[in-house]
Structure 1
Amino acid sequence: MSARWLDDERWGESEQRLRRKKHKPQGRRRLSDLTAAEGEDSGDDIIRRLTDLGHLSEVVAELKSGKEATAYVARGPRGSVLVKIYRDLEARSFKNDSVYREGQVILDQRAKKAMEGRTRRGLAMLQTDWVLAEYAHLWALWRAGLAVPEPLAGPYPVDYAETVPAVLMRLIGTEDEVAPRLSDARLTPEQAASAWSQALGGMADLLRLGYVHGDYSTYNLLWWEDTVTIIDFPQLTTRQNPNFQSLLRRDAESLATSFRKHGLSVSGDQTLREVQRRALGPAPTPRVMLP
């Protein structure tokens, strides 16, 4: 069974940051609060910390605000960066993550009690765990060769834990033309057929590794240079979750439904069968991580 090691060292920094916050939960951050004039420090403590750590040099634009986080385009020493900053748990419209968390084993009983009781310490742990889960999944999928954005902090948890509540990944597209979601892209019939095949392949690659995405549709697939990239992984779950099969079926239905905009008419059952068939095939070539 999968386990989350909730030790004091892992959560200490998050708790300290939580105690320093004002009582009002932090929701969407305005772009003006994240940027600074030349020679000045950003007024936002997260951006200032990411800058001090050497991950960022400048926040360029707000890209998209969702129910859990807001995405920004930024620049860093390795080029264009997508910065995904999660809102405080109390400020999110999506809060019920229990269906994705079932099957996890929390070894620290005090931590488990705090998280279940949603105390201040428990909320800090849930917030941190949600962010670290996305990083861990990104690194696992990137290394396995799947079509996902390259994570830009890590690969060790001690490194990417320093960026909480932000997740840093390589920007898909360019600063002037960021890759659109498939739900927003205009595709020719040939491109739609290719995107559908790639989307099926991506879902099959996840299944082969024992994962289900949990929110798989054209809203969480990017389209750039005729290539599909999978995004949004904090809710990714494994076969240890008793809801695995129902989430897998739901993903197949969501994918089929969301592709109707592009002229494809396939049922969720047909989609699921094709994904299961492809999952029996060869896996992508793993990426080589240079020291």
Structure 2
Amino acid sequence: MSAQWHHASEDFWDDHPEAPRRRSKKKPLGRRQLAHLTSTDDIDVQDDIIRRLQDLGHITEVVAELKSGKEATAYVARGPRGSVLLKLYRDLEARSFKDDSVYRAGQVILDVRAKRAMEGRTRKGLEMLQHDWVNAEYARLWQLWQAGLPVPEPLVGPHPYDYAQTVPAVLMRLVGTEDDVAPRLSDAPLTPEQAQSAWRQSVQGMADLLRLGYAHGDYSTYNLLWWEDTVTIIDFPQLTTRQNPHFRDLLARDAQSLVTSFRKHGIQADADATLREVQRRALGPAPTPRLLLP
């Protein structure tokens, strides 16, 4: 993630830490009401983000709310390319999870004023953090999908200019169907054979991330989907690289989280042994890359 896309006029920085603070009257936007997302008749009621996504041709309508989490709410939508998973982030101030410093450690921000605004969490700094958080998920989703990892297909991009226009939304292909959306592994009823298969796939997925130099940061059955006996990895804005001084700790935490969350499915594994297996597999052959269609 970087802030190099910020090339605004000087007044953009009028609230940096050394300048007088202006109190914003805008209320932080949290969970959107489904009625506002699905309305098509009243322009004063329909959500402006949905209207923008429709104008850009990414979606035609929002069908239902799927799940609400700490940072965002997921919705099922429809678009020109079929069923869409629409992830709408809350404003940073409205999230229950706000401190992302452990994931951002080691990040290089070349623009000094941008760095100062982000660290000071000024109004503009929070806006930049919001854009970086969303754009990072798109960028990493594209990288992982093209590398052949089992992740949802991103539906906007791959050029950053395209997906920057959708902030605070991330659009990806829906895993499953509108009537039967893929459940999280934490919620999926598995036979013993399916549990063993899901475990092997999940360990391999963590190894494939490590091969690319990433620790997921929140790797457990809560961020893995199960559909047609296949594991799909989700939730990528907090991915960290080896430049992060906390990388080893986050990687070890991922292994522990995976082991702990799989106990529900009867898998008894050791976190240290799992981490060693992930590191061993990361030295093996990579998945077959996907080719972008022209």
* TM-score, length of structure 2 as denominator length: 0.93
Counterpart code for 1:151: P
- Equivalent AA in structure 1 for residue 116 of structure 2: K
- Unpaired runs of 5+ in structure 2? 14-21
Structure-2 residue corresponding to 1:147: 150
Letter paired with 2:142:
W
Deviations, residues 64-87 of structure 1 (Å, cap 9, x unaligned): 000100000000000000000000
Superposed CA offset, 1:229-255 (max 9, x none): 000000001001111000000000000
Matched, 1:289 2:287: no
Is 2:3–2:132's contact at 8 Å kept on the other side of the alignment?
A: no
In the TM superposition, structure 1's runs of 4+ consecutive aligned residues that sit over 6 Å from their partners are: none
- Residue 112 of structure 2 corresponds to 109
Deviations 1:155-181 (A, max 9, x none): 000000000000000000000000000
Match of 1:265 in 2: 268
Aligned to 1:6: 4
Q: Please tell me whether the aligned partners of residues 252 and 272 of structure 1 are also in contact (alpha carbons under 8 angstroms).
A: yes
Give the 3-state SS of the residue equivalent to 1:82 in structure 2.
Answer: strand
Q: CA deviation at 1:43?
A: 1.1
The 5 Å alignment of 1:35-184 reads 35-37=38-40, 41=43, 43-184=46-187
1:43-79, Cα deviation, whole Å (9 max, x unpaired): 1010000000000000000000001000000000000
SS at match of 1:8: coil
Distance 1:131 1:25 in 2: 16
Which runs of no fewer than 5 residues in structure 1 stay unpaired?
Answer: none
Task: Specify the code of the residue in structure 2 equivalent to 1:49.
Answer: R
- Is the partner of 2:165 in helix, strand or coil? helix
Deviation at 1:216, TM superposition (A): 0.1
SS at match of 2:29: coil
Within-5 A mapping of 1:169-248: 169-248=172-251
Identity of aligned residues (%): 76
What is the TM-score when the length of structure 1 is the normalising length?
A: 0.94
Paired residues of 1:11 and 1:128 also in contact (CA < 8 A): no
Aligned-CA RMSD value = 1.9
